[in-house]
Amino acid sequence: MSTDYRATGPAGPAAEHSSGSDTTPSGDQLAAMSHAELDLLGARLDDTQVVVLSDPPPPGSIAEKRAERQVALCFGLATLFSFAFVVVFWGSGWFLPDWEYEVAGSVFGALFTPLLGLTMGAALAFLGVGIVLWAKKLMPHEVATQGRHGGASDPVDAQTAGGTIMAGFERTGLARHNIVRRSLLGAAGALGLLALMPLGGLIKNPGRGDELMKTSWADGIRLVRDDGTPIRPADMLPGSLETVFPAVGGGNRQADAATMLIRLRREQVDELRLEPGREAFVYQDFIAYSKICTHAGCPVSLYEQETGRILCPCHQSQFIVTQGARPVFGPAARPLPQLPIDLDDEGFFVARSDYPEAVGPSFWNRET
Amino acid sequence: MSRALALLATLVVTGGLYAAMAPGSVAQDSTDSTAVEAGRELYEQSCISCHGANLEGVSDRGPSLIGVGEASVFFQVSTGRMPLARQEAQANRGPVVFTDDEIDQLMAYIQANGGGPTLPSGDLRDGDLSAGGELFRLNCASCHNFAGRGGALSSGKNAPNLSEASDLQMYAAMLTGPSNMPVFGDNQLTPEEKRAIINYVQTLDESTDPGGLSIGRAGPVPEGVVIWLLGMGVLLIGVFWIGSKA
């Protein structure tokens, strides 16, 4: 590394030339200067010093030739990969196999997109590597420092600039034309009010209409599958689960109404322990719980039929089916709401009422 | 007396008709009884300590096998889950201990003594692919992941990756609900729907990954990890190389 000061700061011998317009060269002198000299002159006039940390290898040296070859190799590879991209892209279906998405696809089909990505990526990467090598090996390494200019403006400039602004304001006559000023303020205020209106549309009272407290379930509403078919007890074997929705229009798209209908195994029926008053919510060995987690509202559908646990995939809350879906693990604090079920005259499952409490996560004015 | 005779005659006719029409036809009867006998021997060597001398199960060791049927036996034994090497959170897929013939014998023994769901025959992928996808996402994806790659359950249990399962194993699993998997009886998912699901899962497994490396097809988590570790690593190396002095 050489430390050759090509330009010196104010402390150096050139300091006396760095300030004052008398040192500005004449037109003839400028015309005679090389680009490098003009560059240094500009820097000096701007109070900038350039410190050269190291020089590139001397022209014609072995080191320079090697660096040139390295840079050229990178640019050459970038060219090659760009052409390879074009070949893969246009060659597919011409002289290369046709690319098409198939289930048991060809090797080329599987490689087509990755090949495009690899060739394009390699082209860009080699271009970048070539540029960095070029900068590192074939250019001088310099550090430029520039002196900081003084702070305040010239007092005359400051006063006149302030005067321009104030004179402009006075020429508008706002200070004098009271009626114009007040009506303008009124208009601006009204416009601000107008701008606030759309925000008001975003604020609703969620308590109104009991939207969060109720679902579409009600007495006599059938439990239907996603495709709308009703369910008989014989459709499900012990240890099975079916996701059901209320048989109302668009019921299978109502996020709060999704319910798990579970048929317990015999030994689970024996250990069934429900809260007092909820014993009649079940129909024989069938039991129904809300599918919406009471913690953050995720669908809890990972049913472990052997352990009788329902697992929520979002935060691993676990609920015990045989104990009123009481939470036994994880962040959920309340049991899953239980839907009272029965059979109708035709032998299909129906709800006997809505959920006794609000489904899903907690909210501010929740009553239960 | 005549009423009793009539009853007897009806029973004989019904029984005869059933025997003639029931799956596992009469022609196999002679080989069946030897298979059941061979199955009993295998059972008494490998299964009896946990499932009991009369398939009644042993408490804290193994469940009763009455009513599980040959489908359950096929699933558990052909995937190497049974015989269980040791008690753990759940039986996982492992090396298969019995030969195909021995599995058939065990199936015959359990079916003859406990009864239960039987295995289907024919092409198990003969189903509507898109309907299968819909049913898979509705019934299976919550535990087995949307690409059938499995996932974690509670207390060390897991829903297995479906890529190793054969058509018949998947069908038997849906039919019997092994371990913690819910049961999907034929009235809940018809045989046609089961075949559609199998077709979907196997098609998904056989399809190529046109986007390049699938990284386990487990979704955005491994993709994010790869971007973080590999992508950021390469970028950092590049930054250091550019910034280092020649």
The three-state DSSP-derived secondary structure of A243-289 is EEEECCCCHHHCCCCCEEEEECCHHHHHCCCCCCCCHHHCECCEEEE
Q: CATH fold of A223-351, please? A: Rieske Iron-sulfur Protein (2.102.10)
Residues of B with Cβ-Cβ distance to A313 under 8 angstroms: 142, 151
Most confident stretch, A193-197, B88-92, B205-209: A193-197
Comparing A203-207, A219-223, B22-26, B49-53, the range with the smallest average pLDDT is B22-26
pLDDT band at A128 (very low <50, low <70, confident <90, very high): very high
Please check whether residue B201 is in contact with residue B125, taking contact to mean a CB–CB distance below 8 angstroms: no
Q: Mutate which of A143, A237, A259, A310 to test chain B, going by most B C-beta atoms within 10 A?
A: A237
Q: Mutate which of B56, B64, B183 to test chain A, going by most A C-beta atoms within 10 A?
A: B183
- pLDDT of res. B4: 65
Element holding A188 (H helix, E strand): helix A178-202
**CA atoms of B44 and B134, how far apart (whole Å):** 43
**CA atoms of A148 and A47, how far apart (whole Å):** 9
Residues of B with Cβ-Cβ distance to A132 under 8 angstroms: 241-242
Q: Is residue B183 within 8 angstroms of chain A, CB to CB?
A: yes
Rg (alpha carbons) of chain B, rounded to whole number: 24
Class of domain B27-114: mainly alpha
Is residue A357 classed as helix, strand or coil in its secondary structure? coil
Residue A94 has pLDDT above 70, yes or no: yes
Residue A2 has pLDDT above 70, yes or no: no
* CA angle (B139 as vertex; B133, B145 as ends), nearest 5: 75
- pLDDT of res. A14: 40
Write out pLDDT tens, residues A41-54: 888 888 888 888 88
B27-114 and B129-207 share one fold: yes
Domain map of chain B by residue range? Answer: 27-114, 129-207
Residue B210 has pLDDT above 90, yes or no: no
Interface of A with B in 224-263 (CB under 8 A): 226, 232, 234-243
Domain map of chain A by residue range? Answer: 4-54, 62-139, 223-351
CATH number of B129-207: 3.40.50.300, 1.10.760.10, 3.40.50.720, 1.10.1060.10? 1.10.760.10
Q: Is residue B218 within 8 angstroms of chain A, CB to CB?
A: no
Q: Is residue B179 within 8 angstroms of chain A, CB to CB?
A: yes
- pLDDT of res. B9: 65
Comparing A47-61, A123-137, A172-186, the range with the smallest average pLDDT is A47-61
pLDDT band at B7 (very low <50, low <70, confident <90, very high): low
- pLDDT of res. B181: 93
Is residue B29 classed as helix, strand or coil in its secondary structure? helix
